[in-house]
Amino acid sequence: MYSERIRLASLRDRIVDAAAAAALIEDGMTVGISGFGCAGDAKAVPFALAERAQREPVRISLVTGASIGNGLDKLLAESGALARRMPFQADAALRKAINAGQVMFVDQHLSETVEQMRSHQLKRPDIAVIEAVAITEEGHIVPTASVGNSASLALFADQVIVEISLRYGTDLEGLHDIYIPADRPGRAPIPLVSPDQRIGATAIPVDPARIAAIVISDYRDSPSTVQPADAETQAIADHLIGFFASEVEAGRLPRNLGPLQVGVGSIANAVMAGLIDAPFENLCMYSEVLQDSTFELFDAGKLDFASGSAIVLSAARGAQVFGDFGRYKERLVLRPQEISNHPEVSRRLGIIGINTALEFDLYGNVNSTHVGGTRMMNGIGGSGDFARSAHTSIFVTKSIAKDGAISSVVPMVGHVDHTEHDVDILVTEQGLADLRGLAPRERARAIIDNCVHPEYRAALEDYFARACERGGQTPHLLGEALSWHLNLEERGHMLATR
């Protein structure tokens, strides 16, 4: 049985049920599980672990690629199984536990987690649980819809549990490109000079002796919940496309724009979808998550190739893409996230990085993670990996949130993820601020003129004028700089006058 899925025959007697596999996980262990943005997460064993945690105390440190689906973070958090969590999450219940101080969340650049394990700065996993479409003749693991951190988690773990997913066809084999950087010092450059290049193996080369258990799983990935474009996200896309057109005309970008990296979420997806009707051809992506818009661009004949670490799709798109995978496979590659997000590679390729901010300030510092300066939203994800090393680093956001009670353009951000030095272009539905080559006072002028919502413009203008009277390279009124956030907390609106 399962001879096509477990091709190394000697491993077939390691098939157990999920509860038996989860029993290998002991209290206090570090557990790595596959999964990135709700794609390719191990499911059967984490479900069984959450169930067990309701009966007996098991608290683990959980390491993934990024967020996981199927409500698993919620179940694990609510069952008390999570002591620590890294490097990213996007679940409301886990967010609540993190912000209550019940789960210690380590918010990391996504390219760094396994690099830090490699150099023993982070504890390596006791057990890794990896979703796979198949195990090869050599005992190597073929992942499903994401690579994420799966390869290094499996290679570093003492024991590996493989979840064979019957939900994905074996035609996914050949999609992945598993390249593992050598130890430092003395590491050679990553030999990737073009987004469509393959530099590694198609499966994770684990020693089959370390595969402790195999579980057959019939769980599906959770579909993505991206919202269709609205008037504001369409306007953001239009501003960006205008900017790209002028860059091409000025000779600063090639006609196909160069490799595009686009962050997660509805705004980023809408921006990419906006390229369908734009006058650019032969696009390519060197990104982290490939969303619905990637496949809309393929279907429109606009996109030649997409390199990512995970494929995260809505239910309808997922059924279409994975039901007819041969149509796309040759134009796709999934890499470990330390390669998809590697600063060495993005600087070499010259990517255009488009990521989403929660808020940004007068001088272009960006907060992508902390609501009100203190409460974790999701995490920095890959945005920092790309922002510093991109050819052009772009952040987008709607100019207001929560029906206008919040301005996403503020005097000073309550938390900084991306400093002004890493931010070239800011875009809201109001317009685009090109900050390249500008000093702080000039940046403030461009941001006020182009990005802030009209309801907040006079207040920001007034703050800036009074700050300039006080002087400084980056003028601020320190007693007042976070007053908009305080107003929101105390009165429910950022403006004192409301």
Contact 79, 98 (CB under 8 A): no
Is the Cβ of residue 139 or residue 379 nearer to ligand COA in the bound state? 379
Using the Cα atoms of residue 71, residue 72, residue 77 and residue 80 in order, give the sign of their dihedral. Answer: positive
Is the Cβ of residue 182 or residue 315 nearer to ligand COA in the bound state? 315
Q: How far is the CB of 408 from ligand COA (least distance, A)?
A: 4
Is the Cβ of residue 295 or residue 360 nearer to ligand COA in the bound state? 360
Is the Cβ of residue 34 or residue 378 nearer to ligand COA in the bound state? 378
Q: Where are the beta strands (DSSP E) in 122-189?
A: 127-135, 141-143, 159-165
The two three-digit tokens of residue 387, written as one number: 């922002």
Positions in 13-32 near ligand COA (CB under 6 A): none
Contact 58, 27 (CB under 8 A): yes
Euclidean distance between the first and the last CA atom of the chain, given in angstroms as a whole number: 68
With CB under 6 A as the contact rule, the residue among 38, 313, 358, 459 that binds ligand COA is: 358
How many other β-carbons are positioned within 10 Å of the β-carbon of residue 380?
A: 20
- Site membership for ligand COA, residue 113 (CB under 6 A): no
With CB under 6 A as the contact rule, the residue among 356, 392, 428, 430 that binds ligand COA is: 356
Active site residue 288: yes
Of the listed 131, 163, 247, 288, which one is catalytic? 288
Could you give the CA distance from residue 188 to residue 177 in angstroms, rounded to a whole number?
18
Residue, CB closest to ligand COA: 265
Could you give the CA distance from residue 374 to residue 7 in angstroms, rounded to a whole number?
50
Peptide bond into 185 cis (omega under 30): yes
Q: Which residue has the tokens 């499911």?
A: 43
The two three-digit tokens of residue 388, written as one number: 């510093």
Could you give the CA distance from residue 434 to residue 427 in angstroms, rounded to a whole number?
9
With CB under 6 A as the contact rule, the residue among 381, 411, 414, 475 that binds ligand COA is: 381
Is the Cβ of residue 150 or residue 341 nearer to ligand COA in the bound state? 341
Residue 106: what are its φ and ψ, rounded to 5°? -105, 105
Applying CB under 6 A, the site for ligand COA has a residue count of 23
Positions in 383-442 near ligand COA (CB under 6 A): 383, 398, 401-402, 406, 408
Contact 63, 96 (CB under 8 A): no
β 60-63/82-86 pair status: parallel
With CB under 6 A as the contact rule, the residue among 15, 19, 93, 377 that binds ligand COA is: 377
The two three-digit tokens of residue 338, written as one number: 């330390």
Is the Cβ of residue 53 or residue 400 nearer to ligand COA in the bound state? 400
Positions in 36-55 near ligand COA (CB under 6 A): none
Q: Segment near ligand COA (CB under 6 A), from 98-106, 162-170, 199-207, 378-386?
A: 378-386
Positions in 272-291 near ligand COA (CB under 6 A): 288
Q: Which helix (H) or strand (E) holds 389?
A: helix 383-389
Q: How far is the CB of 88 from ligand COA (least distance, A)?
A: 7
- Site membership for ligand COA, residue 64 (CB under 6 A): no
- Site membership for ligand COA, residue 148 (CB under 6 A): no
Letters for 227-266 (x = contact with ligand COA by CB under 6 A, - = none) are ------------------------------------xxxx
Contact 91, 74 (CB under 8 A): yes
Residue 289: what are its φ and ψ, rounded to 5°? -105, 130
Q: Segment near ligand COA (CB under 6 A), from 178-186, 305-313, 317-325, 379-387?
A: 379-387
Type of residue found at 400: I
Q: How far is CA 8 from the centre of its chain?
A: 34
Residues serving a catalytic function are 288
Which positions touch ligand COA (CB under 6 A)? Answer: 263-267, 288, 355-356, 358-359, 368, 371, 377-378, 380-383, 398, 401-402, 406, 408
